[in-house]
Copies of this chain bind each other. A is one copy, B any other.
Amino acid sequence: MKQSVCIGIDMGGTNTAFGFVTKDGNVVAEGNISTTGHHNIDEYIKRLTLAIKEQWGSINQEYQITAIGVGAPSGNYRTRSIEESANLPWQGVIPFCDILEEIFGIPTFITNDANAATLGEQIYGGAKGMQDFVMVTLGTGLGSGYVANGRLIYGHNGLAGELGHTTAIKDGRECGCGKKGCLETYCSATGVKRTAIELMATTNTKSELRDIPYNKLTSKDVAIAANNGDKLAQQVFQITGEILGEALANTVAITGPEAIFLMGGLTKAGDLLFNPLRKSFNKSVMFLFKDCVNILPSAIDGNVAILGAAALAWSEIKESNNG
């Protein structure tokens, strides 16, 4: 009998990567195409289909494809569509699952990238066996996914998990979402950069970062400088960790998770981020949850996004088999 695999598709603003993933999380074949540079969505889908079928052919003897999972910015689990994404080259509502099901003839599921990462952690990562946990992705923005009673919270409109757009600082920084003071304007790659710039304006602390123009400065520069002993850069991570710790303390009081996992570029800063974060969390969290919640880096290495998208497919198949 052929072994089952699910296809995980990670649609990013620049690249679309996909892989054929076994239930155990082995990627037996993979490929990718550019997300941009197509005349329209139909052309993109044609290219993607071609690339997938090519890889499929290479493993066809050994594996059968059971389902497809897609992680995409603004991917909505409930409507099965990509909705008005600000980070993709096409607009409007795209019924992506229906289109792929028509082409491949197998069940297809979609959700946003942070939710896919959450399922990846649950099925293949550090959250195996956990019924209640939170995933926070620290990339350009701040994404999050919540699992309660063993199941991801999609919410009524399919768009739950927007921790990045809860208010961290009243009347604080302008956010791309139209609000002010959103958590992701402080705790994300962009947030780290903005904090560094703000400290350049408000303090006289010497820093190697003062030679880098705004448009060139990245959170990685800040992390490197901090590791080199740059006081201003270190203060940036101190502030970032403090604000994130307070936000996580609030979110813990609501959903009472066993653990919070962090992933994304910013977590590579390691103790620079985790030390002030854990300290601030412990100071802010309600006594009922003290010493109950682990704050951990994601346990997944390798292509998290593909694994996460495949995890969506695997978890949906399991649910439908359970009735």
A85 close to B (CB within 8 Å): no
How far does the alpha carbon of A251 sit from the alpha carbon of B247 in the complex, in Å?
12
| A154 close to B256 (CB less than 8 A) | yes
Which of under 10, 10 to 19, 20 to 34, or 35 or more describes the interface residues of A?
35 or more
| A167 close to B284 (CB less than 8 A) | yes
A155 close to B (CB within 8 Å): yes
User: With a CB–CB cut-off of 8 A, which chain B residues contact A253?
Assistant: 160, 162-163, 165-166
A286 close to B (CB within 8 Å): yes
Interface of A is mostly: loop
| A157 close to B254 (CB less than 8 A) | no
| B286 close to A250 (CB less than 8 A) | no
Q: Which of A148, A178, A246 has the most CB of B within 10 A?
A: A148
User: With a CB–CB cut-off of 8 A, which chain B residues contact A286?
Assistant: 162, 165, 177, 179
Q: Which of B144, B155, B165, B166 contacts A132 (CB 8 A)?
A: B155
> Could you write out 11 A-B pairs with CB less than 8 Å apart?
A132-B155, A159-B256, A159-B288, A160-B254, A160-B256, A162-B254, A165-B253, A165-B286, A166-B253, A177-B287, A250-B250
